[in-house]
Structure 1
Amino acid sequence: MPSPSQRRARFVTAGVASLLAVAACERKSQPERVDSVIPAPPLPDAPPPPAPVATSTWDAQAGLALVVPGEQGDVRLVVPGTGAGAPADTAAGAADAVLPGEVLLVSRVGVAGRARAEPVAAAPTGSACGSWPAARLGPASGADAVPQWTVGLVQPAGGATPVAALPLDSLHGLSPADSASLAAAVTRLASELPADSASRALRGLPFVVRTAGRFRPDSTAETVVAVLTRALAQEASPIGEVILLVAERPLDLRTGRWATAYHERAVGREEVLPAAEVLAALRIGEPGRPALVVARVGEDGSRYSLLERAAPGRWQVRWTSVARGC
């Protein structure tokens, strides 16, 4: 017969075995844990990048806007607006964004003076064609009258733009010999321009020099800007050609030949051909970019351009306004 101590040992051993068995069953009854990652919700689509701002190619150092002669004592305001990356604006700016303001007045012989421009309420025209906003020009502070001018540049409030005017020597102001020589030079250059399909019918016809102005864009060169025309007088449909020509020659080769630096051509029926007029020659900014302000009047109205000298012997259109007043 087992002793009491042996019976206690067997009881303890049996109890421990029972506890281990129960624990093992509990472990088996628990499901195995599976490590998992809850996927994050998808990120919302990124918004598309903003469209590039359509800015004008107008040279802001020339001023805020152009002032051009109008009718009945008023002037017209040409405000650069927005473009599409090309030199031509697709929309005009607002007059109230630049006026009232001080205006630098320029003529073909240099800076004419200053004036004060005030906006004028637009009068109903009854026409589907838009017109340039009207303004009234008055003497600048301390002046008695508005000087003679061909184009104005609206100045920023409280400041002035770095603009100088370059005198244009016209054919009429030159000596007879110089005038004849310059007219012959621009006529030769116009005749040497490559003909396109529209102008081929006019080949060989003489050009007429409508205007020509000579100036110095810097200390190294001499430039001439000219407008030339020619026409074929056909009874059924007379056609004509208008050429705006810019040419240069170096000052150290005064006997050298002029070379074409820029030209544009318009060919069509004489009665609808656009007219071109050079309003002023400028030097803009620092160290001074030579530029020309050109007005064009055609079937679709009037528009204005800024031609700038991109390099010696090369000019290009920097900016062109929308057309107004068809």
Structure 2
Amino acid sequence: MGGSNGSLPAREEVLQAIRAHQRFCLTTHERPDGDAVGSLAAMQGVLSGLGKEALAFLPAEEFPLPYEYRFIQLEGLVTEPPDDLADRVLIFLDCGNIDRSPVGESNARLVINVDHHHDNTRFGAINHVDPQSSCTAEMVWDLAHGLGVTTAPPIAEALYVGLVTDTGRFMYENTGPRAHQMAAELIANGLQPHEIYRHLYEGVPQGKLVLLARGLTNVERFDDGLLTVTQLTADDYAHAGADESFSEGVVDHLRSVEGTAVAGLVREQLGSGGATRKVSLRATDDRVDVSAIARAGGGGGHRRAAGFSTELDFPELVTFLREQLAQQL
């Protein structure tokens, strides 16, 4: 388990802090994915189950959430940091870096950092960071056990969303035995996996399909296919009638191409006039750590999945990625 600033193991410090305090504010990283939204909703449910007051904070610009996560229940949601934040314990979930947080440096009563990213910057007063966990939702599930809270249906659904999405439906290398134990327990307690699957992977808007087609049309390969990249421009989004969240999953089609060591999706950030691009990276080769590439670009993530933002144009960005890949191979 990740270290903390006290003498107790970080997990015990978190449990102790939750028992000792009554008022909380929960948040996660920008552009929240399934693990972020699921962990946020599940932790809120756990705290509510203990009779605690817990607000979930996401900035207004994060809404609407990606369509596949909108069924997740987020009670007590606020889009501005509460005025009484100094009286609340602030829990960051799935946030590897304070710079990816909507709160930034905070004057909260206590800051708790719960995350599974190996490159987490340990920015909290309590840092419960466990890179061995498949997802942050797995850590919330474990904390619920430590607090004696039953994972009722809304909590179980949120946890399962985090688990399924961050393990790539149990296919990624971060899928450990506890991930399957967690899934088995949630299902044994009444969770309906097919219902979650339908929310996440069926009912796809046509605009998402059109955007995927544009992304696959734009694929380029470099260095004998080791680097497989595509880009999505503002024009692509406009043509597809798609919002930014519709690009989720495009890069996973690239990673499956034979000979690919690193797959990359470069997409213009809408509203930036093409000045800012988001880069999503996936590694298929054990020799490559894409989180190191992402850190060189000012971002971070996991060995196999990472990302960053950049103002480089596409040709410059391709040069940067090729140089970074060559350093590791």
- TM-score in same-fold range (> 0.5): no
Question: TM-score w.r.t. structure 2 length?
Answer: 0.26
Question: Rg larger in 1 or in 2?
Answer: 1
* Larger proportion of helix: 2
Question: TM-score w.r.t. structure 1 length?
Answer: 0.26
